[in-house]
A and B are shown apart, each in its own frame.
Chain A
């Protein structure tokens, strides 16, 4: 079982819907990440939070809006998505942002845009 929990596991939404993805970790990690992964490709970094502050935004469209309510929780708010946004969305956490500690991943949310 992974120590990073993501909900829901699957999500189907229309292009006009608003939905949120949730991620939770209880390892005391202070860095949390959102990744997007398309089929047969490696994960692509979207956002990084360090000590609950947004540190990195990899030029992600504004239809994706991250939120870090506290050190254990990470949300990704979705609005007006496009079919090409269909992918596996992964959350990860690590002890710090310096990168010499591994990231631990959840099992992702499989998102389908109709």
Chain B
């Protein structure tokens, strides 16, 4: 059964305290893994796409990595404006096989 699991559910960091969010997946034939950021009352904002194990993408303080079983979103020296819910989504082979994880709510305190 296809499954996408994110952990932790919530994460509180001090400004400057680096950490990682996890997205574990079990799907048949990964077509793509996507990271989104969602602020309260807004739609998800696209961050990264990863297609194959070993791939890495970076944007400012964020770096996404991918293995055959999971993806990490590393946040280096976070700032309060990085506070948001981070969603992972996976596209598997086959029609209508797009799955969101339940998200990680990140709170960065000054």
Given the known A-B contacts A43-B100, A48-B96, are A4 and B43 also in contact in the complex, defined by CB atoms under 8 Å?
Answer: yes
Residues of A within 8 A of B63 (CB): none
Interface stretch, picked from A11-19, A69-77, A78-86, A103-111, is A103-111
A90 nearest CB neighbor, chain B only: B43
A61 at the interface (CB under 8 A from B): no
Count of B residues near A, CB < 8 Å?
A: 23
Given the known A-B contacts A42-B103, A45-B98, A56-B96, are A100 and B31 also in contact in the complex, defined by CB atoms under 8 Å?
Answer: yes
A108 nearest CB neighbor, chain B only: B43
Residues of B within 8 A of A45 (CB): 98
Per CB-CB distance, the 5 closest pairs between chain A and chain B, nearest first, are A99-B91, A105-B43, A42-B100, A107-B43, A100-B32
